[in-house]
Amino acid sequence: MNRKLRILVVEDEAAIRTGLVDVLVFHGYEVDWAEDGSSGLNKALNGGFDLILLDVMLPGVDGFKICNQVRAADRDQPIIMLTARTSDEDIIQGLSLGADDYVAKPFSVAQLVLRVQAVLRRARATLALDKRIQLGDELELDAANLCGRRGEEVLAFTRREMDILQYLHANAERPVSRDELLHKVWGYARDADLETRTVDIHIAKLRRKIEADPGTPRYLTTVRGAGYRLLTDS
Ligand code: CA
């Protein structure tokens, strides 16, 4: 029998925390929790969790800072951020710090559990994808180390950004739809009713990193009505 997957819940609001812990235990996970930022950070750094559910607004150290520090220590640690704030700016900040997903409060328990399952499935999937990606003459990406080089410029990527590039690179002969990316890279179920905006946000961020002119991409191209396609030699 497999060991139970371990989840850390960092949330200061008792009602939400208790509800999350109960539902995750009900779904078969082993759950620990913290009610403030500093104990959350401490557990997150030392606990060996399969997933961390991280509130943004916390007493002490806030969720973005925790995410940042956990990422610095372990770039593969799965993290889902929870927040009452829903502006695009906050979503972009959370994603740029490397959270795997972002759930806005109030959330439905069913939706939250789906996200948890998706992130864990994705994290455990061992993808036999190329670790080195060459684009044209100027771009060289190192997927294992989440970095790259464009001419003299050194580039850094989040795990998710690199996963997107690896998946598009493995399918470079055809356009890949947003739904397929959500399914294959994020691990969401095919029939899940999910927003595709998060895909577009990631693509925009990637273009700013790898394209000389992000408004007229040479490599990470849009195929109208079909999705995105990576051109490896242009
Ligand atoms: Ca809070």
Ligand 1 center to 73 CA (angstroms) = 24
The reply to whether 13 and 118 lie within a common domain is: yes
- With CA atoms as reference, report the closest residue to 63 among 73, 72, 75, 54: 54
**By the 8 A CB rule, do 180 and 117 touch?**
no
**CA–centroid distance, residue 203 to ligand 1 (Å):** 30
Query: CB 186: neighbour CB atoms within 10 A?
Result: 22
pLDDT in tens, 70-84: 988 877 788 999 987
Q: What's the domain range around 160?
A: 132-230
Pairing of strands 153-156, 147-150: antiparallel
Positions of the chain with pLDDT lower than 70, given as ranges:
1-2, 85-92, 94-96, 124-129, 190-195, 234
What are 88-99's pLDDT values in tens digits?
666 667 666 778
Q: What percent of the chain has pLDDT over 90?
A: 52
Residues 23 and 80 in one domain: yes
Residue 231 CA to ligand 1 center (angstroms) comes to: 43
Rounded distance from Cα 81 to ligand 1 centre (Å): 11
Q: What separation in Å is there between the alpha carbon of 208 and the centre of ligand 1?
A: 32
Cα-to-centroid distance, 204 and ligand 1 (Å): 29
At residue 120, the pLDDT reads 87
Task: Return the structure tokens found at 20.
Answer: 């999350």
**Looking at the structure, do residues 10 and 112 belong to the same domain, yes or no?**
yes
Q: How many structural domains compose the chain?
A: 2
| Residue 146 located in a structural domain | yes
Query: How far away, in angstroms, is 15 Cα from ligand 1 center?
Result: 11
CATH of residue 59's domain is: 3.40.50.2300
* CA of residue 41 to ligand 1 center, whole Å: 14
How many angstroms does the Cα of residue 13 sit away from the middle of ligand 1? 6
In this structure, the answer to whether residues 116 and 38 fall within a common structural domain is yes
On whether residue 136 sits in a domain, the answer given is yes
Helices (H), 47-196: 63-73, 88-96, 109-124, 159-170, 178-184
